[in-house]
């Protein structure tokens, strides 16, 4: 990383000619990065300060913080924020606990762990539209397999996606099925990296299974767990595909209409782009605050 | 921490058998239901079809003007492959410049890359739509390919990897009179093959499965990718389960084949993201 690592300029050439060649390596990426990451970022911030409606005949008009004020007072925005938080609170711990359980079981196996690992990863390969079609059918009140089983057992039926209490947990369950594979593999790889000697030494000292897990596995897994929590958090706050496909209308009483789905609705169905950009900026702030909070809490525990 | 011995412990294996079944059963159900005639889907009697039929598949593949599955498939393959190629090319060049050539300003660029890595893609979608609309790329594959290669992730991943390559190899090549480009192509790229493969797998799978990008940035049905096409298909043929299931099965087969061929590598790549 230090200055001496810089390649020495060829003899007889000015350093700036050397640099020009170096920048040529960087230029294609930087051009894309500027045009499609930095520019949208700045553009989005700017747009959020305008009354910008692409169906309206009026040109965009500067409106200061009006869009942000509207979001704070918008009951739909608040309900979307609640739905997103509820999804995250249910999905994040469930997904990571199941992934950890699966990874521990896989690490304990002597044979066939590759087979089980592949089976558990399989649903992740299915794209969200297919997963949505499949689970909408499984959850269907009349035709769905789940209710057929419940009726068969004489337990009546559940409005998996039509009952306000059940709709979000149903989406979380589908997400668990679809997404648990990747964190399982990440955690398993981290488990394999723990030297077996540590466990051997602990066993000789008379440590039981729980205490070995508590004092060896968990501390050594902490950095990878932290990474998995942060990735899942960022993904959960942006949940869109599942909720949009399982409950296109936002679910019973809009209980499954998440922030990104509301932003999509406002921006691309009502074409209120300025307001959509303002809510996107708020979403970014919420995610950033949540990530920093997680990092702080989980670091302090160690 | 792999234990030795021959037999699997009981409880972990039971838990994994149940989880494996829960993972696979819905997919198997999808496949067998795609082979049922519509009446059997509606009046469910057994899991397996009593009368196996190809009619759902025939209808999908036989009416391309009504259901352009082949076209969506081609669009998906083209967009995912092109994005992957662009990502590999621009990210490897940039990462090499940032960690080895290090022209003035490299430190600042790396700092900006790390800072923007956490920005969620959805946040940029509204302004991105307007920018692409200005340059007339909406409803073209370019709207997905170039923004898809503009993220910091690929360059960051490769720069971490290039740092670990021993410098002596490059120094020897400099003494032999090789230029930057030839060192990059003949020495660095071959050594970086595992990292390039990881980045390629991630980019390809991420682009192949992307839903919100194509939903917002593509307009006409013929230009859709598979996920958006299938979702549209489902909303227009909602009552015909057998048909939508057959379409789902067809769209999943290519990914499944890729997974079976590159399984070891894909799993290793996923594992690597957490450890790096």
Alpha-helix residue ranges (DSSP H) falling in B164-211: 167-175, 180-183, 189-191, 193-209
Q: How confident is the model at residue B7 (pLDDT cuts 50, 70, 90)?
A: confident
Residues of chain A with pLDDT under 50: 1-9
The CA radius of gyration of chain B, in Å to the nearest whole number, is: 24
Of the candidates A145, A150, A121, the one whose C-alpha atom is nearest the C-alpha of residue A135 is: A145
Specify the 3-state DSSP secondary structure of B241.
helix
Q: Which of B202, B80, B238 is nearest to B145 (CA)?
A: B80
Contacting residues of B for A189, CB less than 8 Å apart: 271-272, 274-275
Q: How many residues does chain B have?
A: 276
Cβ neighbors of A266 (< 8 A, separation 6 or more) are A272, A275, A276, A279
A85 touches chain B (CB under 8 A): no
Look at A23 and B97 and tell me if their CB atoms are within 8 Å. Answer: yes
Q: What percentage of residues in chain B have a pLDDT greater than 90?
A: 43
User: How big is chain A by its Cα radius of gyration, in Å?
Assistant: 25
Comparing CB atoms, the residue among B103, B127, B211 nearest residue A43 is B127
Where does the pLDDT of residue B80 fall: very low under 50, low under 70, confident under 90, or very high at 90 and above? very high
Query: Tokens 């939903």 label which residue?
Result: B215
Distances (CA, A) of B12 to A108, A113, A211, B45, B210: 7, 10, 18, 34, 34
Give the pLDDT confidence score for residue B220 in this predicted structure: 93
* Nearest-angstrom CA–CA distance, A133 and B165: 46
Q: How far apart are the first and last CA of chain A?
A: 30
Strand partners, A50: A62
Q: Which two tokens stand for residue B272?
A: 């690597």
Alpha-carbon distance of A246 to A131, in angstroms, equals 9
**Mean pLDDT computed over B143-165:** 91
Whole-number percent of chain B with pLDDT over 70: 96
ipTM rounded to 2 decimals: 0.88
| Confidence bin at B40 (pLDDT 50/70/90) | confident
Average pLDDT over residues B163-167: 85
User: The whole model's pTM is what?
Assistant: 0.88
Cβ contacts below 8 Å, chain A against chain B, sum to: 297
Residues of chain A with C-beta less than 8 angstroms from the C-beta of B125 = 267, 280
DSSP A215: I
User: Which candidate, B225, B226, B249, places its Cα nearest to that of B35?
Assistant: B249
Helix (H) or strand (E) holding A61: strand A61-62
What pLDDT sits at residue A110? 84
pLDDT of residue A6: 46
Angle, CA A112 vertex, CA A108 and CA A113 arms, to 5°: 45
Residue given tokens 């950009």 in the structure block: A277
Residues 246-285 of A with CB under 8 A from B: 248, 260, 263-264, 267-268, 273, 276-277, 280-281, 283-284
Q: Find where tokens 């494996």 sit.
A: B20
Calculate the CA A270 to chain-centre distance.
26
Given a cut of 70, whether residue B1 has pLDDT beyond it is no
Residue scoring higher pLDDT (A14 or B268): B268
pLDDT, tens digit (0-9, with 9 covering 90-100), for A50-66: 998 877 778 888 999 99
pLDDT of B100-142, one tens digit each? Answer: 889 999 999 998 998 888 777 888 998 999 999 999 999 999 9
Q: What is the mean pLDDT of chain B?
A: 88
Pick B13's closest partner by Cβ from A29, A44, A109. A109
pLDDT for the residue numbered B161 = 87
* Section B35-39 average pLDDT: 89
Beta strands at A50-51 and A61-62: parallel, antiparallel or unpaired? antiparallel
The reply to whether residue A177 touches residue B22, judged by beta carbons under 8 angstroms, is yes
* DSSP designation for B193: H
Give me the pLDDT at residue A279, please.
95
A130, B252: Cβ pair inside 8 Å?
yes
Mean of the pLDDT values across residues B36-48?
84
């Amino acid at each position: 990383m230090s200055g001496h690592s810089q390649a020495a300029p060829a003899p007889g050439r000015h350093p700036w000619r050397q640099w020009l060649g170096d920048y040529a390596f960087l230029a294609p990426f930087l051009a894309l990065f500027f045009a499609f990451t930095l520019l949208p970022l700045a553009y989005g911030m700017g747009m959020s300060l305008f009354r910008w409606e692409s169906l309206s005949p009026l040109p965009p008009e500067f409106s200061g913080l009006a869009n942000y004020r509207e979001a704070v007072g918008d009951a739909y925005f608040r309900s979307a924020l609640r739905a997103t938080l509820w999804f995250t609170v249910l999905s994040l711990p469930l997904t990571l606990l199941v992934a950890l359980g699966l990874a521990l079981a896989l690490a304990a196996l002597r044979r066939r762990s590759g087979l089980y690992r592949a089976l558990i990863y399989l649903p992740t390969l299915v794209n969200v539209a297919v997963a949505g079609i499949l689970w909408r059918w499984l959850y269907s009140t009349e035709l769905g397999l789940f209710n057929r089983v419940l009726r068969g057992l004489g337990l009546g039926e559940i409005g998996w996606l039509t009952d306000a209490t059940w709709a979000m947990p149903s989406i979380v369950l589908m997400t668990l099925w679809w997404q648990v594979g990747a964190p399982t593999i990440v955690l398993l790889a981290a488990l394999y990296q723990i030297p077996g000697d540590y466990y051997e030494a602990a066993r000789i000292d008379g440590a039981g299974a729980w205490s070995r897990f508590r004092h060896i596995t968990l501390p050594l897994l902490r950095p990878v767990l932290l990474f998995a929590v942060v990735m899942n958090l960022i993904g959960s706050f942006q949940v869109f595909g599942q909720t949009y496909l399982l409950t296109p209308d936002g679910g019973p009483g809009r209980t499954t209409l998440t922030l990104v789905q509301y932003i999509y609705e406002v921006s691309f169905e009502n074409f209120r782009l300025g307001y959509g950009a303002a809510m996107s900026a708020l979403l970014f702030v919420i995610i950033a605050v949540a990530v920093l909070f997680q990092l702080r809490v989980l670091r302090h525990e160690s | 921490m792999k234990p030795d011995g021959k037999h699997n412990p009981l409880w972990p294996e039971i838990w994994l058998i149940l989880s494996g079944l829960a993972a696979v059963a819905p997919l198997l159900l999808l496949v067998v239901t795609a082979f049922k005639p519509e009446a059997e889907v509606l009046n469910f009697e057994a899991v397996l079809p009593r009368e196996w039929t190809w009619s759902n598949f025939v209808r999908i593949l036989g009416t391309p003007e009504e259901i352009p599955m082949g076209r969506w498939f081609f669009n998906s393959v083209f967009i995912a492959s092109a994005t992957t190629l662009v990502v590999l090319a621009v990210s490897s060049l940039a990462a090499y410049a940032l960690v080895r050539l290090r022209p003035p300003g490299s430190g600042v660029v790396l700092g900006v890359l790390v800072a923007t890595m956490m920005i969620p893609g959805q946040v940029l979608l509204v302004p991105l739509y307007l920018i692409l609309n200005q340059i007339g790329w909406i409803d073209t594959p370019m709207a997905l390919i170039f923004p898809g290669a503009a993220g910091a992730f690929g360059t960051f991943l490769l720069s971490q990897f290039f740092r670990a390559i021993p410098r002596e190899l490059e120094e020897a090549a400099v003494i032999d009179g090789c230029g930057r480009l030839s060192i990059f192509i003949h020495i660095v790229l071959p050594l970086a093959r595992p990292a390039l493969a990881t980045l390629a797998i991630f980019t390809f799978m991420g682009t192949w499965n992307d839903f919100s990008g194509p939903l917002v940035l593509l307009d006409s049905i013929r230009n859709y990718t598979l996920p958006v096409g299938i979702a549209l298909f489902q909303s227009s043929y909602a009552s015909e389960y057998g048909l939508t299931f057959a379409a789902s099965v067809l769209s999943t087969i290519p990914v499944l084949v890729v997974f079976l061929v590159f399984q070891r590598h894909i799993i290793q790549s996923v594992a690597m993201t957490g450890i790096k």
